[in-house]
Every structure is written in structure tokens, then in C-alpha cells.
Amino acid sequence: MDQLLYTVSQCCRLIAIGRTTFYELVARGEIPVRKVGNKTLVAAADLKRWAERLPAVKAGKNDQLARTACSHELVP
């Protein structure tokens, strides 16, 4: 069974952002959270929906972002 809920720390690692940015996204309503006692959790489906809503970036020939992104291999 796939993991259904992630902690804040796990989310930050998965989407490569810091805690401050994560909580800013939560405050803006972009990522919904759930509470179990004092623990803040994010549903995997909500995190995936958030990622899918991110705009795609079209890069030109001289775009540093494109060169940087292509030079890093993603590891699942």
C-alpha cells in the first residue's frame, strides 16, 4: 500500500522546499493539511494535485534554468 499521508518534513523533502515556504503555501490554501493531535499531515493525493497545478516552464536556448534542470538526473 502506498503512503497516504506525509508529515511536514516529508513533504518538504519530497517537493524540495523549506518549511517556511511550505507553511506559506498552506496559509494561501494551496496545500490543504490535516491534524491528528498535534501532528500536521498532508494527503498524498493533495500533494500530487498541488504539483500538477504548477505551471510548466518553457525554456529558450539561453535559459540557465533549462541547462541546470537538464544537468541534474532525477532519482526516484
- How many structural domains compose the chain? 1
The per-residue pLDDT for range 29-66, each reduced to its tens digit, is 999 999 999 999 999 999 999 999 999 888 776 666 55
**Structure confidence at residue 76 as a pLDDT band (50, 70, 90):** very low
62: in domain: yes
Helix (H) or strand (E) holding 35: strand 34-36
Domain annotation covers residue 21: yes
- pLDDT over threshold 90, residue 26: yes
Is residue 57 in some structural domain?
yes
The more confident residue out of 7 and 1 is: 7
The reply to whether 76 falls in a domain is: no
Q: CB under 8 Å to 23, separation ≥6 — which residues?
A: 8
Helices within 1-76 (DSSP H only): 8-15, 19-27, 44-53, 64-71
Identify the domain containing residue 15 by its residue range: 5-71
Rounded CA separation 59/21 (Å): 24
Report how far apart, in Å, the C-alpha atoms of 9 and of each of 42, 52, 64, 69 are. 10, 20, 29, 24
- The whole-model pTM stands at 0.71
Whether the pLDDT of residue 21 is over 50: the answer is yes
